[in-house]
Amino acid sequence: MLLFKSNKKEKEVQRAIVRLVNQHTDALHDDVRLESRVSLTAAVVVVPWEEKRYDATCALSAVTKEFSSTGASLVVSRLYSREDIVAVGMRREGAIIFFRGTVMHVDELGGGFWVLGLKFSEVIEIESHPELKSLSI
């Protein structure tokens, strides 16, 4: 009898998760994309561009969601606007590499989180932006 109750509860959990996943994936099928995405979760640091420099005092940690060959989507805890410029730093081969990105879209997740769609325009030369040198992931 205990096994039957356990299976029933497990099936209920599975149905709820499938409904939740389907709710979020239906919107993805309507989206026409020019290139494919790769799901990849990694910790990054996001630094806003303010008054002709990156403002390291406003840097925040975030998590990547997906990558394309020209950009990424991030889950962040700060609201950005379309066209905002940010630096995104991530670990690569023991160092941090920074990309300059433009916010292309912002989608609210709820709970104080947003998904940013970024288009990267360049790899940032760290020597040109010493304000980024002190940041870590």
- pTM, 2 dp: 0.78
CATH code for the domain of 55: 2.40.10.220
The CA radius of gyration of the chain, in Å to the nearest whole number, is 19
Residue ranges of E strands in the chain: 38-39, 43-50, 53-54, 60-67, 71-76, 85-92, 95-110, 113-123
Q: Which residues span the domain enclosing 67?
A: 38-132
Within-domain flag for 12 = yes
Same-domain check for residues 8 and 42: no
Number of structural domains, the chain?
A: 2
Same-domain check for residues 25 and 42: no
Within-domain flag for 103 = yes
Distance of alpha carbon 17 from alpha carbon 31, whole angstroms: 23
pLDDT values of the chain reduced to their tens digit, one per residue, 137 residues? 445 556 887 887 887 777 776 765 545 444 555 667 788 889 999 999 999 999 999 999 999 999 988 899 999 999 999 999 999 999 988 889 999 999 999 999 999 999 999 999 999 999 999 999 999 88
